Amino acid sequence: MKKIQISPSILSADFSQLGNEIKRLEEAGADMIHVDVMDGHFVPNLTIGPPVIKALKKQSSMIFDVHLMISPVHKYIEAFSDAGADIITIHPEATDDLSSSIQKIKKLGKKVGVSLNPETKIQVILDHLDKIDLVLIMSVNPGFGGQKFMPEVLNKIKDLKKIQKSKGFDFDIEIDGGINFENSKEAIEAGANILVSGTTIFKSNNGDIKKNIELLKSK
C-alpha cells in the first residue's frame, strides 16, 4: 500500500504571508503543497498564476502539486512548468486533446495528473491511465474553498482502485474537497493515498498545523 501523503491547499492560507505559510507547512511535515489555480472562466473564481508560484518556489524545496482549473489549459502548461510546478493536474473538459496535453506535461519532465469533477466518469480517462501519474478525485465542485464533502465520490475511488489493481498501474489517487478528520479515514479506506485539505489543516485545533497533518494521516 502506498504511503499516505498530505497536500495542504494554500487556498486556505494567509495570502499576505504565503512564503511564511509554506515554511510552516514544511516544518509541520506536509508532503507537498497544493496550489489551486482558477481562471474565473472554467470555475467561478480567480486565484494565482505562474509569477506567484515562481516566487514561492524560490523559498521552498517542497513538491508543488499544481491543480489547473483553467480553460483552455493546453497553452498554459509550459508557463506553469517553468514557474516550478512539479505535478501538473488538468481537467479533461479543459483541453481539446487530453492525450496531447498529457504528452506535453511529460515532455516538460513533470508528473501529470488528471482531475475528475464529481459528475465526471472514470471512463473519460480509461485510455490514459497508463500515462498518468496521479488521478485527482474532486469531492466538491471545483471553484471555492470550504465546501461540504460529497461522500458519493468514494465509490469512484473504489472503482478506480479496482482498475488500478487489475491492470497493474501505479498512479497516485488524490482527493480534494471538504476533507476533515472524519472523512479522511473513509477516503483512505476507499483507496486514496494523497489527501488535499485546506480549512482543516489551517484552522482546526487552534491552527496547530503539525497536529492536524498527523491526525489526517492516521487511520
Catalytic residues: 36, 176
Name the DSSP letter for residue 194.
E
Distance set, CA 209 to CA 28, 48, 85 (Å): 6, 23, 23
Residue 218 host element (H or E): none
Name the DSSP letter for residue 9.
B
| Nearest CA among 17, 15, 79, 85 for reference residue 46 | 15
Helix orientation angle between 183-190 and 154-167, rounded to the nearest 10 degrees: 30
| Nearest CA among 11, 78, 28, 26 for reference residue 57 | 26
Q: What DSSP letter does each residue of 51-104 carry, written as one string?
A: HHHHHHHTT--SEEEEEEE-SS-GGGHHHHHHHT-SEEEE-GGG-S-HHHHHHH
Cell of 84: 516550478
